[in-house]
Amino acid sequence: MSAQDTSTELWGGETTKAVANFPVSGERVPLPVVRWLGRIKGNAARVNAELGLLDGELAEKIAAAGDEIAQGKHDAQFPIDVFQTGSGTSSNMNANEVIATLSGAHRNDHVNMGQSSNDVFPSAVHLAALDETTNTLLPALEQLEASFAAKAEAFKDLVKSGRTHLMDAVPVTLGQEFSGYAAQIRLGRRRIENALPQVAQIPLGGTATGTGLNTHRDFAAKVREKLSAETGLTISAPEDPFEAQGNRDALVELSGALKVVAVSLTKIAGDLALMGSGPRVGIGELYLPELQKGSSIMPGKVNPVIPEVVLQVSAQVIGNDTAITVGGLQGQFELNVRIPLIARNLLQSIHLLSTTAKIFAEKCVDGIEPNLPGLERSAENTLAVATALNPFIGYDKAADIVKDAAENGGTLREVARKHGVDDETLDKALDLRKIAAGSSAD
């Protein structure tokens, strides 16, 4: 049978049983995990040959089959539902059987040599998460951060009303707000980066319970070395093999960092939707890109569709984190047995945040334009600028002026003059750009 042939089932009896036993969701094990199973097993065969434990020619056939799985050539040969045995044993055997068929090797004695489902499957999950985060998510977040930073610079001189508790507050610049958004993304990215060294510690070599039974003492280190060289990822030994075998805390930590990013995106997307609301009776400080019609009945209506996507994705990531947390706390003794659940939700979160960050940058943030009349109206009409009068006339008198203006109308300057504040003081105190810079007096 050709190694390229995926028109015929390449799996064996254990995979068939698993397919029959777990007709749960119709959702298969995430492909990044499948491909990392192939990569691990291919390099395991090479190492076992180097150690004199496996015939070199047979090892190369196993390695070639593993490489093809890693390249995505046999994705269709992994049909097992993601909701399966909690150790991922079924998927590990699926990989063993496919590689055995392609190579003519024995699925256990040769393909699985020096391995157990209990160390190989979680290693594949860790490395899939590390790979997807490093090569897809982090670059997408960098792009989004750069988009916000560019707008912060472009909008640095545009003054508007601040808002706290959704109520008028002292002025800020639009650039200051966007600078804050850029920093949120930057700090979120940093939290993710800080979680990755633990994810990079894999339990490979622990076999069944962390003791390394039936594996060569040099096996795990040599496989890690090959995997690192092949992918450019820094893959390391665990600080303690029993910690690495018995729990998935590193994945829970990574998910927590992803949740923080989702929380940040929720705040940012909500702000943009509100600032872009209108066009006539909303806040109306921004123009969001018009991507599509917003209503099937109201002509001309345009909705903030990208912020709405961001909000929905963020909700999903936060929900995934809850499932991952529950999965993480349900390990017993030497093995966590909720690994497929954790893998499914973690890799979905990584994927969703990766695609959404890129879409958010390219289809929303990059195209945002200021509504200059709306910003001017916002900055000049907020009574909160009276705060800048406090050092000159005191809080109580400033409060009386605000109350008078709110109840009887008139601009702050007009009402302040009525209360005896001279123009020189008003000019000095009510410079909007100085207020936004945090300075109301020399």
At 372, the amino acid letter reads L
Q: Tell whether the model's pLDDT for residue 2 goes beyond 70.
A: no
Confidence label for 382 from pLDDT (cuts 50, 70 and 90): confident
Q: Tell whether the model's pLDDT for residue 391 goes beyond 60.
A: yes
**CATH homologous superfamily of 13-113:** Fumarase/aspartase (N-terminal domain) (1.10.275.10)
Instruction: Quote the pLDDT of residue 299.
Output: 61
HEC string of the chain equals CCCCCCCCCCCCHHHHHHHHHCCCCCCECCHHHHHHHHHHHHHHHHHHHHCCCCCHHHHHHHHHHHHHHHCCCCHHHCCCECCCCCCCHHHHHHHHHHHHHHHCCCHHHHHCCCCCHHHHHHHHHHHHHHHHHHHHHHHHHHHHHHHHHHHHHHCCCCEEEEEECCEEEEEEEHHHHHHHHHHHHHHHHHHHHHHHHHHCECCCCCCCCCCCCCCCCCHHHHHHHHHHHHHCCCCECCCCHHHHHHCCHHHHHHHHHHHHHHHHHHHHHHHHHHHCCCCCCCCCCEECCCCCCCCCCCCCCCCCHHHHHHHHHHHHHHHHHHHHHHHHHCCECCECCCHHHHHHHHHHHHHHHHHHHHHHHHHCHHHCEECHHHHHHHHHHCHHHHHHHHHHHCHHHHHHHHHHHHHHCCCHHHHHHHCCCCHHHHHHHCCHHHHHCCCCCC
* Angle, vertex CA 209, rays to CA 205 and CA 213, nearest 5: 55
Q: What is the mean pLDDT of residues 227-236?
A: 98
Per the model's pLDDT, the better-predicted residue between 388 and 341 turns out to be 341
Per-residue pLDDT of 183-231, as tens digits, reads: 999 999 999 999 999 999 999 999 999 999 999 999 999 999 999 999 9
Say if strands 286-287 and 167-173 run parallel, antiparallel, or are unpaired: unpaired
Query: In the chain, pLDDT over 90 holds for what percent of residues?
Result: 84
Tokens of 390: 């406090």
Among the listed residues 289, 260, 278, the one whose alpha carbon sits nearest the alpha carbon of residue 151: 289
Q: Tell whether the model's pLDDT for residue 288 goes beyond 90.
A: yes
Q: Which residues are catalytic?
A: 165, 295
Query: In the chain, pLDDT over 70 holds for what percent of residues?
Result: 97
Distances (CA, A) of 41 to 113, 123, 138: 9, 11, 27
Confidence label for 440 from pLDDT (cuts 50, 70 and 90): very low
Among the listed residues 190, 323, 193, the one whose alpha carbon sits nearest the alpha carbon of residue 264: 190
Q: Tell whether the model's pLDDT for residue 442 goes beyond 60.
A: no
Instruction: Quote the pLDDT of residue 7.
Output: 59
Q: Among the ranges 7-11, 90-94, 282-286, 372-376, which has the highest mean pLDDT value?
A: 90-94
Per-residue pLDDT of 93-150, as tens digits, reads: 999 999 999 999 999 999 999 999 999 999 999 999 999 999 999 999 999 999 999 9
Q: Tell whether the model's pLDDT for residue 298 goes beyond 80.
A: no
Q: Tell whether the model's pLDDT for residue 295 goes beyond 80.
A: no
Confidence label for 296 from pLDDT (cuts 50, 70 and 90): low
Instruction: Quote the pLDDT of residue 438.
Output: 82
Q: Tell whether the model's pLDDT for residue 294 goes beyond 80.
A: no
183-198 b/e with 16+ CB inside 10 Å = b?
ebbbebbebbeebbeb
Instruction: Quote the pLDDT of residue 19.
Output: 98
Q: Tell whether the model's pLDDT for residue 359 goes beyond 50.
A: yes
Spatial distance between the Cα atoms of 81 and 440, rounded to a whole number of angstroms: 64
Tokens of 261: 């990013």
Per the model's pLDDT, the better-predicted residue between 406 and 83 turns out to be 83
Instruction: Quote the pLDDT of residue 226.
Output: 99
Spatial distance between the Cα atoms of 185 and 192, rounded to a whole number of angstroms: 11
How far apart are the two ends of the chain, measured CA to CA in Å?
84
What CATH number matches the domain at 383-440, 1.10.40.30, 1.10.540.10, 3.40.50.300, 1.10.275.10?
1.10.40.30
366-389 b/e with 16+ CB inside 10 Å = b?
bebebbeebbeebbbebbbbbbbb
Q: Where are the domains of the chain?
A: 13-113, 120-203+241-373, 383-440
pTM: 0.93
Among the listed residues 307, 327, 184, 315, the one whose alpha carbon sits nearest the alpha carbon of residue 254: 327
Confidence label for 441 from pLDDT (cuts 50, 70 and 90): very low
Q: What is the mean pLDDT of residues 86-97?
A: 98
Instruction: Quote the pLDDT of residue 384.
Output: 85
Q: What is the mean pLDDT of residues 30-47?
A: 99
Cβ 11 vs Cβ 43: under 8 Å:
no
Among the listed residues 371, 385, 428, the one whose alpha carbon sits nearest the alpha carbon of residue 162: 385
Looking at the domain that runs over 120-203+241-373, which CATH code has it been given? 1.20.200.10
Four-CA torsion 77, 82, 88, 91, nearest 10 degrees:
-10
Q: Tell whether the model's pLDDT for residue 3 goes beyond 60.
A: no
State the greatest distance between any 2 C-alpha atoms of the chain, in Å, as a whole number.
Answer: 97
Q: Tell whether the model's pLDDT for residue 180 goes beyond 50.
A: yes
- Sign of the dihedral through C-alpha 186, 319, 81, 118: positive
Q: What is the mean pLDDT of residues 415-440?
A: 86
What mean pLDDT, rounded, does the chain reach? Answer: 95
Which residue is it, tokens 């097993």? Answer: 41
Among the listed residues 131, 163, 83, the one whose alpha carbon sits nearest the alpha carbon of residue 351: 131
Cβ 353 vs Cβ 313: under 8 Å:
yes
Per-residue pLDDT of 152-166, as tens digits, reads: 999 999 999 999 999
